[in-house]
Amino acid sequence: MAAEPAFKVIFEHEGVFLHPSSDEEIEPDFLVSGTLRILEKDAEIVVEYRPLEDGVDPSNMLCAGKDSSSVVEWAQCPGDRPQSQQLLEAQLSYETEWDMVNAVSFRKRRSSNMEGSLNSSHERSRLAFAFSVSDLRSVTVREEGWTFIILQLKDSSTPLPHLHFHQGGSRAFLDSLRRFALLTESPSDHTCLLVSTPNKALSQSFENLLDDNNFGLVHKFKRDPYVTTLGGFSKVTNYLFDALRGMEEQQQRPPEEVADLLGEVIPGLEINQQEEPGFEVITRIDLGTRPEVSRKSPLTADDWARHQDADGRMKDVPDLKHAVFKGGLCHALRKEAWKFLLGYYPWESTHEERKTLQREKTDEYFRMKLQWKSVSEEQERRNSRLRDYRSLIEKDVNRTDRTNRFYEGIDNPGLVLLHDILMTYCMYDFDLGYVQGMSDLLSPILYVMENEVEAFWCFVAFMDQMHENFEEQMQGMKTQLIQLSSLLRLLDLAFWNYLESQDSGYLYFCFRWLLIRFKRELSFVDVLRLWEVMWTGLPCENFHLLVCCAILDSEKQKIMEENYGFNEILKHINELSMKLDIEEILQKAEGICLQIRSCKDLPRPVATILGFDVESRRAGSTDCGSAATSGAARREVGVSNGHSRESSCEQSGRGAFVS
């Protein structure tokens, strides 16, 4: 007899109840208590529910309001179990409304004969269930004095019983589930969480489709998730089709299978393929005509000086940020202005305060640098993480912007600074350390600052915004791609439907855009312009998503008229690199923002993505008035990855931004 496969218990909670309905064979007033578990079994995450041997008679169960004791005790009746099994478990309930406050007796159902006992056992086994998390479509959380959860599988023909958490534990269950799936609130029902899950092997692999062609497929799929996005998407296309074709199979599989593969590579994107209830309300909205906007000349050193008082404090900061947003900065001004835009220098600081800050930050930087510089070879042999960070940094530094004069040639001092700053950042944030792609974010900053310490602290400020893009779970990337899909559906449903029909609805081709903020799509000079514009925080939150929309808006006609399929769309987007006009893109993106803001019935999810909701937008004309631009400009650091970092008043100010 084969041994049972080994499994790991991720979550376990006893005292989860089923309430059999009147149409079931089980007595309707007889509760079924059981254990809910999340298991890792055979490299798969499984949710399992098993009823206990005994049911619970609700006549023995009392409930109290939230002001009562939160200590819960469950006990078995002494007569029903041996003395050794008379266990008493006390635990805290995390539910806010109801708590069990008395001992609950588990009583066996009485049966007159052996047949009754067998029927009872059959009923319990029929109520047991287990399923893979990847088969879960949604989780609905409701309150009925206590919390109960409704699980819906993708196969809707298999309904599951509701899980009632009389004893608490629903939050812990959801928190454990979030470790393996992305739970996103449904636009039409705030109690419903839509579930999307990654393919474990693929979600760890997306970085490795660029280099090391001698590695086998299996080895490639076990490394990191970023290199592909940094190196050219034509290689992604070829690699994925080769992978799906198989070792001996010469006939290429259908594109929809490739789309599924790419969707699993970026965990959480399955949500874009679901029919989200109520989303039609969003898509039917008439956004009206897109307003024409214009760009202005870059801010000059004289313009900057006029916004500085005698002590060096910056004044009229909202107007200053607006000027930067509309025209950017002349290059000679960037070295000073970027420190303010990124939050390294406070806007209200004086010359003397900034000198003091610089001295303190210089000392702090070199203390951290000394930490890795002083590690001996013997120590590093016993520190695999530091060794891996160093190896990856050295590899990336040698291929970062080598055509730029600041980094070209052998033994270039710019490369040494790039290396040292990235190594020191590993000391600053050892949990994150170094992930491929971070060198692309540092390179323009070091180029502008031409100073190791200043470049480091500005990079730290930028990474504060971009941190979630590089975390292992890629939560920032998941959020942004889902938000981008929502915006695109609102702006152009026909184009979004076309992408869906070509198995491109995941918008995976935007992954590199978002990961390193268009660093590989634009010329070096245009990257400087785009980043300083985005760092103003204007004209809305997540403006970079509207930049994506602007690029896609310019390309949609060619994509649709040429009837591009999956492979052609991927190739076309990849070939846009270095062919984009940044001023035209910024102009169109701002127009899209104003067009969306003017919508009278803007859907709440979209309003939330862009940082202005219907209520704050309506109140903006009276509460914030014409000072809306100043409200927008108060933000010290641009919001990234869909997470707001400021107060509602500031949001309402941004909501009324006027071009």
Question: In the predicted model, is pLDDT for residue 568 greater than 80?
Answer: yes
Q: Where in the chain is the domain with CATH 2.30.29.230?
A: 8-53+123-196
Residue 363: is its pLDDT beyond 90? yes
Report which residue type is found at 268: G
How high is the pLDDT of residue 206?
40
Pairwise pLDDT comparison (387 vs 648), residue with the higher score: 387
pLDDT score of 133 more than 50:
yes
Q: What is 405-443 written as a DSSP string?
A: TTT-STT-HHHHHHHHHHHHHHHHSTTT---TTHHHHHH
Q: Which pLDDT band holds residue 15 (cuts at 50, 70, 90)?
A: confident
Query: What is the rounded CA–CA span in Å between residue 93 and residue 41?
Result: 28
Better-scored residue on pLDDT, 55 or 46? 46
Contact 440, 429 (CB under 8 A): no
Least reliable range by pLDDT among 213-222, 348-357, 524-533, 552-561: 213-222
Percent of the chain with pLDDT over 70: 66
The per-residue pLDDT for 597 is 93
Q: Which two tokens stand for residue 430?
A: 């050892």
Pick 221 or 437 by higher pLDDT.
Answer: 437
Would the pLDDT of 205 be above 70? no
Q: Is the pLDDT of residue 637 over 50?
A: no
Confidence of residue 68 (pLDDT cuts 50, 70, 90): very low
When pLDDT is averaged across residues 496-505 and rounded to a whole number, the result is 90
Residue 92: its pLDDT value, please? 35
Give dist(CA 132, CA 396) in Å, integer: 38
Nearest to 344 by CA among 493, 218, 463: 463
* Confidence band of 506 (pLDDT split at 50, 70, 90): confident
- Answer whether residue 24 shows pLDDT above 70: no
Q: Where in the chain is the domain with CATH 1.10.8.270?
A: 311-469
Model confidence at 215, pLDDT cuts 50, 70, 90, reads: very low
**CATH dotted code for 8-53+123-196:** 2.30.29.230
Q: What angle do CA 218, 224, 228 make, to 5 degrees?
A: 90
Number of other CB atoms surrounding residue 619 within 10 Å: 16
pLDDT for residue 509 is more than 80: yes
| 463 contacts: CB under 8 Å, gap ≥ 6 | 425, 429, 438, 441
Q: Of 2-11, 256-265, 383-392, 497-506, which one has max mean pLDDT?
A: 383-392
CATH number of 475-619: 1.10.472.80
Distance CA 281, CA 528 (A): 39
Neighbours of 114 (CB within 10 A): 8
> Cα(98)–Cα(148) distance, rounded to whole angstroms?
12
**Which residues contact residue 474 at a Cβ distance below 8 angstroms, ignoring those fewer than 6 apart?**
203, 225, 266, 267, 468
Residue that has been written with the tokens 């290396």 in this structure: 419
* Separation of alpha carbons 263 and 564, rounded Å: 19
For 297-340, write each residue's pLDDT tens digit.
999 999 999 999 999 999 999 999 999 999 999 999 999 999 99
Every domain of the chain with CATH number 1.10.472.80 lies at: 475-619
Cβ neighbours of residue 553 under 8 Å, at least 6 residues apart? 491, 492, 588, 592
68 vs 458, residue with greater confidence: 458
What is the distance between the alpha carbons of residues 535 and 639, in angstroms, rounded to a whole number?
9
Amino acid at 139: V
Q: What is the mean pLDDT of the chain?
A: 75
The pLDDT of 415-442, averaged and rounded, is 96
Using DSSP, state whether 148 is helix, strand or coil: strand
Task: Tell me the pLDDT tens digit for each residue of 593-636.
Answer: 999 999 988 888 999 999 977 446 445 544 444 434 434 433 44
Does the structure show a pLDDT above 70 at 25? no
CA distance 599 to 589: 16
Output the pLDDT for position 190. 83
What is the band of 508 on the pLDDT scale with cuts at 50, 70, 90? Answer: confident
When comparing pLDDT for 271 and 339, which is higher? 339
Tell me the CA end-to-end span of the chain in Å, nearest whole number: 74
**Position of tokens 């062609």?**
213
pLDDT in tens, 481-495: 999 999 999 999 999
pLDDT over threshold 80, residue 250: no
Q: What are phi and psi of 168, to 5 degrees?
A: 85, 180
pLDDT in tens, 512-561: 999 999 999 999 999 999 999 999 999 999 999 999 999 999 999 999 99
Give the best-scoring range by mean pLDDT among 411-420, 452-461, 630-639.
452-461
- Please state the φ and ψ torsions of residue 10, each to the nearest 5 degrees: -90, -40
For residue 562, give every residue at least 6 positions away whose Cβ sits within 8 Å of its Cβ, in sequence order, or none: 568
Q: What is the pLDDT of residue 531?
A: 98
pLDDT at 20: 67
Res. 566 pLDDT band, cuts 50 70 90? confident
What CATH number matches the domain at 311-469, 2.40.50.100, 1.10.620.20, 1.10.8.270, 3.40.50.170? 1.10.8.270
- Residue 89: CB atoms within 10 Å: 11
* Highest mean pLDDT of the ranges 72-76, 105-109, 296-300: 296-300
Instruction: Report which of residues 461 and 189 the model is more confident about.
Output: 461
From residue 616, give the alpha-carbon distance in Å to each of 443, 540, 619. 38, 13, 5
Strand residue runs (E) in 133-229 = 136-143, 147-153, 163-165, 182-186, 189-196
Helix axes 582-597, 543-561, angle to 10 degrees: 110
